[in-house]
Amino acid sequence: MQFYYYTLVAGVAALVIALFAAFYVLKESEGSEKMKEIAKAIKEGANAYLKRQLYTILAFAVILSILFLFMDNGLSIVIAFIVGAAASYITAYLGMSIAVKANVRTAKSAEKGLNEAFRTALLGGSVTGFAAVGFSLIGLSLLLMYFTTLNIPLLIGYGFGASLISLFARVGGGIYTKAADVGADLVGKTELGLPEDDVRNPATIADNVGDNVGDCAGMAADVFESYSVTLVAALLIANSIPNAPTSLFAYPLYIAALGIIGSFIGVFFIHVKKGNVTRALYKNILLAVIISAILDLVLTSALALPMSYFIAIVSGLLLAFLLFWVSDYYTGGGSKPVIKIATAARGGAGTNVIMGLAVGLRSTWLPAVFVVAAIIASYAAAGVYGIAIASAAMFSLTATILTIDSFGPITDNAGGIAEMSHLPARVRKVTDHLDAVGNTTKATTKGFAIGGAALSATALFVAFANAVHINVIDALNPLVTVGIFIGVLLPFIFSSFLMEAVGHAANLMVEEVRRQVRTIKGLMQGKAKPDYAKAVDIATVNALKSLALPEIVAILTPIIVGLLLGKAALGGLLVGMIPASFMLALTMANAGGAMDNAKKYIETGHFGGKGSDAHKAAIVGDTVGDPLKDTAGPALNSMIKVVSTISILLAPVFLTYALMP
């Protein structure tokens, strides 16, 4: 019996878990009419955005599909591409659909207590987590079944489909969420002195929509893609080993499948003890890591593979945990770097941001050392295949990580709904607490996503070399040098588009909010309702407008380099792009996360607390950090995978048509 029947079953099992969790969440009460109304507005905004984004995606997908048809195996590639893209989109859409229902139910269940609200939010998040894993495994298994032989362009087509959706979701969602957030905060908090999520702020619904389309749908598509591409890379590398036994192909997929068990136990059997939510989430991950490690050990032995392979697995699992920890160290509330930034806020907004950028830049070194150590250890254990296995082991935790990540927007929204519908202080205390924890988990899962993307891109890079039939990418060859320059350049220019888009859209949002405050009579007294829809529309339109350019740059750059400068330069491009994107993404994510928590640190009463000059300075830092951590930083993950997969996918084209040999 072929191994992919097992992985198909595992994928179905993951979907069943997701359905079960969704069922559990949906049977919870939605609360009062007021709460339902707010939740409905958020849901409609989020759905409307995802629907309109789909049109832009379709335009790209159709053009690319037509181009693929001209290649050998064109039809198969297009089918695989569409399957990958559809699986990713459905995951993101489904996850978000549950998230926008779980938010109000979390707020409602907060009446019963912290543990109940925690459970609702976590189960809501787990729908995204398990759906991602389920759809990815099912999609891959079906392709393997249908085409029976291992077909490289096909697998890569699948990966590229997932990457493309991921890029759209990350870029569009990221711009949306931060345009709304920055716009809402700049006028609401700074100028008008309103609290977060105040009903009188016209941008507040848009802000809550943004959390769902950015943090939930965006992250889901991102990690779905890393998960899928990691498995694809492992299959390709196994395929490049002469006379590889079937077990080498089954191994990474089985590791992924076993991760479902570890994640399931982690998510469904953890409770909050003594009100310590963070501790519960940490335990969740640790449990998933340990159970996965044990199961993988059994697997390695059962497949009669060398035990040294298990070292690669441990490297991957350990890396996941360490990346989680290091993000927490640099951005967690009350950590040393965060206090440093808060202290600098006493000197003003300028020194606050300077210190925030310093912390972001600094935060790259430990993750880099961890990734490097994982590469060395897994390579020493099992060669290049070991790197792929480490990557698969790391992403076998996907369900857990995505659950914890989606927990963020759900609790954030729950806090917003509780505030806007004026729930009692007791309930809001619960939702605020969960919201704060969700903020930190959102930041820490980014470290995982970025590090994982770098590791799996490194494995993909080897797959690229196989695809273009080269054994050496010599950095002393000036064409490679030039490729490396372009590769390092790519993340800089790509993130500049996103930063600019947010800056621009946020400015429009600020002007709109100011306009509504000025023209709608009684708004500030709470007698008149703001025009939420107009703010939602601004975020939607501007996110969609800013989508195309960065996408085109990411897709066209490797094509142009491959055609003009040839495969060696394109190899150089990948070599430069991966580490540069990794460092830049970490810098941005952690600078933003740390400045966010520095502001929160001051809000808890330090250096004068809320309303002090230090607080005002810290709000500026938080604003600058917003697009760094939630737009530009995370989108780089998707970028490196799109560039890598399209480079492999078009390898035959470059081999035939490139100007340079």
Closest to a second copy by CB, 258 or 506: 506
Q: How far is the CB of 465 from a second copy (least distance, A)?
A: 6
SS (H, E, C) 515-546: HHHHHCCCCCCCCCCCCHHHHHHHHHHHHHHC
Q: Which is nearer to a second copy, 107 or 344 (CB)?
A: 344
CB of 491 to a second copy, least distance (A): 8
Angle between helices 548-564 and 633-649 (to 10 degrees): 40
HSE-CB at 47 with a 13 A cutoff on CA atoms is 12
CA dihedral over 596, 601, 605, 607, signed as positive or negative: negative
Q: How far is the CB of 314 from a second copy (least distance, A)?
A: 18
Distance CA 69, CA 261 (A): 39
Sequence-distant (6+) residues with CB within 8 A of 146 are none
Q: Which is nearer to a second copy, 149 or 471 (CB)?
A: 471
CA distances from 336 to 107, 333, 604 (A): 32, 9, 16
Structural tokens at position 123: 């189960």
Query: Which tokens in the block code for residue 12?
Result: 């179905």
Could you give the CA distance from residue 632 to residue 626 in angstroms, rounded to a whole number? Answer: 9
Name which of 450 and 620 has its Cβ closer to a second copy. 620
Q: What is the DSSP string of 43-103?
A: HHHHHHHHHHHHHHHHHHHHHHHHHHHTSTTHHHHHHHHHHHHHHHHHHHHHHHHHHHHHH
Find residue 151's DSSP bridge partners. Answer: none
Interacting residues of 217 by C-beta distance below 8 A, sequence separation 6+: 46, 50, 92, 93, 95, 96, 169, 173
CB of 361 to a second copy, least distance (A): 3
Residue 121 or residue 501: which is nearer to a second copy going by CB?
A: 501
Count CB-CB contacts under 10 A for residue 109. 26
CB of 44 to a second copy, least distance (A): 27
Nearer to a second copy among residue 18 and residue 375 (C-beta): 375
- Taking the least distance from each CB to a second copy, the nearer of 380 and 524 is 380
Shortest distance (Å) from residue 183 CB to a second copy: 8
Distance from C-alpha of 121 to C-alpha of 398, rounded to nearest angstrom: 17
Q: 95 or 360: whose CB is closer to a second copy?
A: 360
- The least CB distance from residue 579 to a second copy, in Å, is 4
**Minimum CB separation from a second copy for residue 203, in Å?**
13
